[in-house]
């Protein structure tokens, strides 16, 4: 545990443990029932384990990958006791997450090879998109970075108002227009303003609706094209925000948005209010897009940089 404590503050670890408590309790309870009365990992245990993983919102495809890996180990080692299953699961899940989440990130940083670094945030309404933007702005500012927000979700007046509240709370500038304005125009103004202010980071909010995928695709493409007129190569990152508490619905949203635009990173929110935290594992694996941030509570510091080592440790903590 000393390694974990070195790379992750005790306070953040406690927050993560608390945020994943429902997921962990639910998962470990199901796992215990799956192996009751068994001494070795056999076909029955693997069938039960498959059911546990699927019902924990890990997803069918990812579950089958995990089962295949464990079957390979059973075949190789001939005998694996059920008391070893927890450690094996831990290793295999960490291995899967490592395939899309390389390195060990612990701080909110952006590569400042040029200024500003532009993040376009996408996601449906209600997933915690605006809150995530506000908390990101807070964390970047805490790192000494100059942040500008752009309210390009002009479809709803409430979206503009909510982002203004966060801008005031974090004390960062915001660029906005009236409801119904062209989102691309807001993005253009935001980047122009950020250049004048010599900002380090720009975070652009975009409309959160999926009623017509073609319209969404066209809108996001236009926003990107207009931004590139101001700063070539932008956005540097397209961050998709997903509500972890929706379980399999989050998979569907990820599928729709990855078809509509090139998503480069994920934020999974509201993990503290659900037992569906396994969705982080499945989405990371299925879409091969790194999970960059997770939300594990209401506090300003409860948006955390996703750390696969810590996540798996908290997911399995309390059972060796």
Give the SS3 label for residue 41.
coil
**Among candidate residues 35, 67, 100, the one where a domain is terminated:** 100
State the maximum Cα–Cα separation within the chain, in Å, rounded to a whole number. 68
Average pLDDT over residues 305-320: 79
- Examine the domain organization and report whether 125 and 230 are in the same domain: yes
Burial 76-104 (b: 16+ CB within 10 A, else e): eeeebebeebbebbbebbbebbeebbeee
Q: How many domains does the chain have?
A: 2
- Examine the domain organization and report whether 239 and 180 are in the same domain: yes
CB 130 within 8 A of CB 165: no
What's the mean per-residue pLDDT of the chain? 88
Determine the Cα–Cα distance for residues 101 and 95; give it in Å rounded to an integer. Answer: 10
- Examine the domain organization and report whether 154 and 236 are in the same domain: yes
Tens-digit pLDDT profile for residues 14-73: 888 889 999 889 888 888 888 888 888 888 889 999 999 999 899 999 999 999 999 888
CB 92 within 8 A of CB 66: yes
- Examine the domain organization and report whether 157 and 21 are in the same domain: no
Is the pLDDT at 191 greater than 90? The verdict is yes
Residue 36: exposed, middle, or buried by beta-carbon count in 10 A (0-12, 13-18, 19+)? exposed
Residue located via tokens 């005998």? 79
- Examine the domain organization and report whether 170 and 293 are in the same domain: yes
Tens-digit pLDDT profile for residues 269-300: 999 988 888 999 999 999 999 999 999 988 88
**Residue 15 belongs to a domain:** yes
Percent of the chain topping pLDDT 70: 93
Q: What is the CATH number of the domain that holds 56?
A: 1.20.120.140
Q: What local confidence, expressed as pLDDT, does residue 208 receive? A: 80
Query: For residues 254, 131, 221 and 153, what is the CA-based torsion angle, rounded to 10 degrees?
Result: 130
- Examine the domain organization and report whether 154 and 250 are in the same domain: yes
Q: What local confidence, expressed as pLDDT, does residue 160 receive? A: 94
Determine the Cα–Cα distance for residues 90 and 94; give it in Å rounded to an integer. Answer: 6
- Examine the domain organization and report whether 90 and 122 are in the same domain: no
Determine the Cα–Cα distance for residues 269 and 19; give it in Å rounded to an integer. Answer: 10
Is the pLDDT at 105 greater than 70? The verdict is no
Query: Mind giving me the DSSP string for 251-280?
Result: HHHHHHHHHHS---EEEEE-GGG-S-TTHH
In this structure, the number of other CB atoms found within 10 A of the CB of residue 178 comes to 9
- Examine the domain organization and report whether 126 and 92 are in the same domain: no
**Residue 177 belongs to a domain:** yes
- Examine the domain organization and report whether 216 and 74 are in the same domain: no
**Residue 108 belongs to a domain:** no
- Examine the domain organization and report whether 42 and 153 are in the same domain: no
- Read off the tokens for 124: 């449906």
**Among candidate residues 51, 66, 100, the one where a domain is terminated:** 100
Burial 142-160 (b: 16+ CB within 10 A, else e): eeebbbbbbbbbbbeeebb
Q: Would the CA dihedral through 312, 317, 319, 320 be positive or negative? A: positive
**pLDDT band for position 2 (cuts 50, 70, 90):** very low
More confident residue, 211 or 141: 141
**Residue 76 belongs to a domain:** yes
Domain that holds residue 150: 117-307
Q: What is the CATH number of the domain that holds 275?
A: 3.40.50.300
**Residue 315 belongs to a domain:** no
Average pLDDT over residues 130-148: 96
- Examine the domain organization and report whether 121 and 29 are in the same domain: no
pTM: 0.91
**Residue 109 belongs to a domain:** no
**Among candidate residues 100, 134, 161, the one where a domain is terminated:** 100
Determine the Cα–Cα distance for residues 298 and 18; give it in Å rounded to an integer. Answer: 12
**Residue 318 belongs to a domain:** no
**Residue 313 belongs to a domain:** no
Tens-digit pLDDT profile for residues 174-185: 999 999 999 999
- Examine the domain organization and report whether 26 and 151 are in the same domain: no
Q: What local confidence, expressed as pLDDT, does residue 232 receive? A: 92
């Amino acid at each position: 545990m000393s390694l974990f404590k070195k790379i992750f503050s005790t306070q953040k670890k406690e927050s993560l443990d608390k945020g994943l408590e429902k997921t962990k309790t639910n998962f470990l309870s199901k796992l215990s029932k799956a192996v009751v009365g068994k001494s070795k990992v056999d076909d029955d245990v693997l069938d039960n384990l498959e059911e546990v993983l699927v019902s924990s919102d890990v997803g069918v495809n990812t579950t089958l990958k995990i089962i295949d890996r464990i079957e390979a180990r059973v075949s190789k080692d001939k005998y694996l006791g059920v008391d070893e299953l927890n450690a094996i699961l831990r290793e295999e899940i960490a291995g899967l997450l490592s395939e899309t989440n390389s390195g060990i990130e612990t701080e909110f940083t952006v590569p400042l090879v040029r200024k500003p670094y532009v993040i376009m945030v996408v996601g449906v309404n209600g997933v915690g998109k605006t809150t995530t933007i506000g908390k990101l702005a807070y964390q970047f500012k805490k790192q000494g970075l100059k942040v500008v927000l752009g309210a390009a979700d002009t479809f709803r007046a409430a979206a503009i108002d909510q982002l203004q509240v966060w801008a005031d709370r974090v004390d960062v500038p915001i660029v906005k227009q009236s409801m119904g304005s062209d989102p691309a125009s807001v993005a253009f103004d935001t980047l122009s303003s950020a250049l004048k202010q010599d900002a380090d980071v720009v975070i652009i909010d975009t409309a959160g609706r999926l009623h017509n995928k073609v319209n969404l695709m066209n809108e996001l493409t236009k926003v990107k094209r207009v931004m590139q007129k101001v700063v070539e190569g932008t956005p540097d990152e397209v961050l998709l925000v997903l509500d972890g508490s929706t379980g399999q619905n989050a998979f569907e949203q990820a599928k729709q948005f990855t078809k509509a635009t090139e998503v480069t990173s994920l934020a999974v929110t509201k993990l503290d209010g659900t037992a569906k935290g396994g969705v982080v594992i499945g989405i990371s694996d299925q879409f091969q897009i790194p999970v960059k941030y997770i939300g594990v509570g209401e506090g300003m510091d409860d948006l955390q940089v996703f750390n696969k080592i810590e996540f798996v440790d908290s997911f399995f903590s309390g059972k060796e």
